[in-house]
């Protein structure tokens, strides 16, 4: 009869042997062998994986005109800026303008106390009247002396003295008349008027102050706003294109844009070019004139000037974003009818703003990818969404 402890030992030993044998068969099972459950839950081996379509935006190449511009940063400059000053000395008794007011040439701006000049005018007129009376008396005496001289009553010396006296009075009268004119002119100068048409700035002298002709500050500054000019510089390499356009006749249109080149402020035309190139910068200065009827341009304002120099007609246009660059040159992704893309080498004639003119390699109507090109390769499948701003025939940038 066996002891209970010996029986339990044999039982545990049997269980250990079963576990060892089972683990050996599990580990040595072929890797390709699977249970029916595993086979049901796994995809079939060797099934082809599907490549998802790449979402892209595309636009059709269109036939149109491309306007070519020369762009530069410009400064708005007034044709005339005048510092209004007094031409006489006196007290400022009236200021007839408001700050920022638009004034016309000849409008009254200020008044200097006119009373001192009125007194000077009266004095000059009185002196003139006295000398004129003396001249008349001297002429009467001269006529009498000539008759007496012919009768040998007086000597020749007396006649010559009287003729000299009449001449002195003639000179005195001319001086008196000049003094009268000067007094009248001073009286006119006591009323200060606008020398040009424009906008007047801030008042520099208050009413009641004494002003002098030698004052450097002045009373106010007037700036002409209509018309107004824009000065800008372009590289000397652009000069042949500009001269060719000018020789073709007509004026070159110039548009002024804000700092972001998004809003057009005004339209004008090229007025003239400078007569020499700045050797330090390799640029030449140009001057454009703008009517500025709505006062959208302000002196010393910075603007972006865009000057139209020529127009390319009937060229294939695509968005500039569609043109890619590589070591082999420029290319575009062309969408094929089967919704795949093809790499197409192209020749870009020029790029203006957001448009590029294609010289060769692309036809009108073909779709080119404008967004999502970074995920594409030759033959890639795409899901095309038309661009929000397609190229329009006759588009200009």
How confident is the model over 263-307, as pLDDT tens digits? 999 999 999 999 999 999 999 999 999 999 999 999 999 999 999
Residue 25: pLDDT band with limits 50, 70, 90: low
What percent of the chain is predicted at pLDDT more than 90?
64
The single-letter DSSP state of residue 355 is E
CA torsion through residues 155, 159, 164, 166, sign = positive
DSSP string, 22-82: HHHHHHTS-TT---HHHHHHSPPTTPPPPPPPEEEEEEE-EEEEEEEEEEEEEEEEES-EE
- Encoded tokens for 154: 């007086």
DSSP string, 278-330: BTTTTEEEEEEEE--TT----TT-EEEEEEEEEEEEEEEEEEGGG-EEETTEE
What is the per-residue pLDDT for 372? 87
What is the per-residue pLDDT for 35? 44
Residue 91: pLDDT band with limits 50, 70, 90: very high
Residue 50: pLDDT band with limits 50, 70, 90: low
Before 295, cis peptide (omega within 30)? no
- Encoded tokens for 249: 């006749």
The single-letter DSSP state of residue 388 is S
Sequence-distant (≥ 6) Cβ neighbours of residue 365 within 8 angstroms: 60, 61, 62
Cα distance from N-terminal residue to C-terminal residue, the chain: 111
Name the E strands within 132-227: 191-193, 198-200, 210-211, 220-223
Q: What are the tens digits of pLDDT across the range 210-246?
A: 999 999 999 999 999 999 999 999 999 999 999 988 9
Residue 106: pLDDT band with limits 50, 70, 90: very high
> What CA–CA distances, in Å, run from 397 to 13, 34, 69?
92, 67, 8
Average pLDDT estimate for 141-170: 91
Residue 110, judged by CB atoms within 10 A of its CB (0-12, 13-18, 19+), counts as buried
pTM above 0.75, yes or no: no
Number of C-beta neighbours around residue 219 at 10 A: 23
Q: Give the strand pairing for 102-103 and 228-235.
A: unpaired
Q: What are the tens digits of pLDDT across the range 192-203?
A: 999 999 999 999
| Domains of the chain in sequence order | 55-65+314-386 (2.40.420.20), 69-79+224-312 (2.40.30.170), 82-110+193-221 (2.40.50.100), 114-189 (1.10.287)
How far is the C-alpha of 285 from the C-alpha of 275, rounded, in Å? Answer: 9
What is the per-residue pLDDT for 250? 75
> What CA–CA distances, in Å, run from 301 to 77, 202, 304, 305?
8, 18, 10, 12
The single-letter DSSP state of residue 209 is -
CA torsion through residues 228, 231, 232, 236, sign = positive
Q: Is the pLDDT of residue 116 over 60?
A: yes
Residue 267 has, within 13 A of its CA and on its CB side, a CA count of: 4
Residue 267 β-bridge partners? 255
Answer yes or no: are the C-beta atoms of 315 and 358 closer than 8 Å.
yes
Sequence-distant (≥ 6) Cβ neighbours of residue 96 within 8 angstroms: 107, 108, 109, 110, 111
């Amino acid at each position: 009869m066996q002891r209970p402890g010996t029986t339990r030992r044999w039982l545990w030993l049997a269980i250990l042997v079963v576990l060892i044998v089972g683990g050996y068969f599990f580990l040595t099972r072929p890797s390709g062998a699977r249970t029916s459950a595993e086979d049901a839950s796994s995809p079939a081996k060797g099934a082809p994986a599907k490549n998802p379509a790449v979402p892209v935006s595309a636009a059709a190449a269109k036939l149109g005109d491309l306007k070519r511009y020369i762009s530069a940063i410009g400064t708005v400059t007034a044709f005339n800026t005048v510092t209004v000053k007094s031409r006489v000395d006196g007290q400022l008794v009236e200021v007839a303008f408001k700050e920022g007011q638009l004034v016309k040439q000849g409008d009254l701006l200020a008044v200097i106390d006119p009373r001192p000049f009125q007194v000077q005018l009266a004095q000059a007129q009185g002196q003139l009247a006295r000398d004129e009376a003396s001249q008349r008396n001297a002429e009467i005496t001269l006529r009498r002396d000539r008759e007496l001289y012919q009768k040998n009553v007086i000597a020749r010396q007396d006649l010559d003295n009287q003729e000299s006296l009449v001449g002195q009075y003639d000179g005195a009268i001319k001086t008196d008349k000049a003094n009268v004119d000067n007094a009248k002119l001073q009286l006119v100068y006591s009323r200060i008027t606008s020398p040009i048409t424009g906008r007047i700035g801030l008042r520099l002298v208050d009413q009641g102050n004494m002003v002098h002709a030698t004052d450097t500050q002045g009373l106010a500054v007037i700036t002409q706003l209509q018309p107004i000019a824009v000065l800008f510089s372009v590289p000397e390499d652009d000069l042949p294109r500009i001269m060719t356009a000018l020789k073709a006749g007509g004026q070159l249109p110039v548009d002024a844009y804000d700092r972001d080149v998004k809003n057009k402020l005004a339209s004008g035309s090229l007025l003239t070019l400078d007569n020499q190139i700045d050797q330090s910068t390799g640029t030449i200065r140009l001057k454009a004139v703008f009517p500025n009827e709505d006062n959208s341009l302000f002196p010393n304002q910075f603007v972006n000037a865009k000057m139209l120099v020529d127009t390319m007609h009937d060229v294939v246009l695509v968005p500039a974003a569609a043109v890619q660059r590589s070591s082999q040159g420029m290319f575009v992704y062309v969408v094929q009818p089967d919704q795949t893309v093809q790499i197409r080498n192209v020749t870009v004639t020029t790029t203006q703003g957001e448009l590029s003119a294609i010289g060769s390699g692309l036809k009108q109507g073909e779709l080119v990818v404008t967004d999502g090109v970074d995920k594409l390769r030759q033959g890639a499948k795409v899901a095309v969404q038309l661009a929000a701003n397609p190229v329009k025939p006759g588009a200009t940038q």
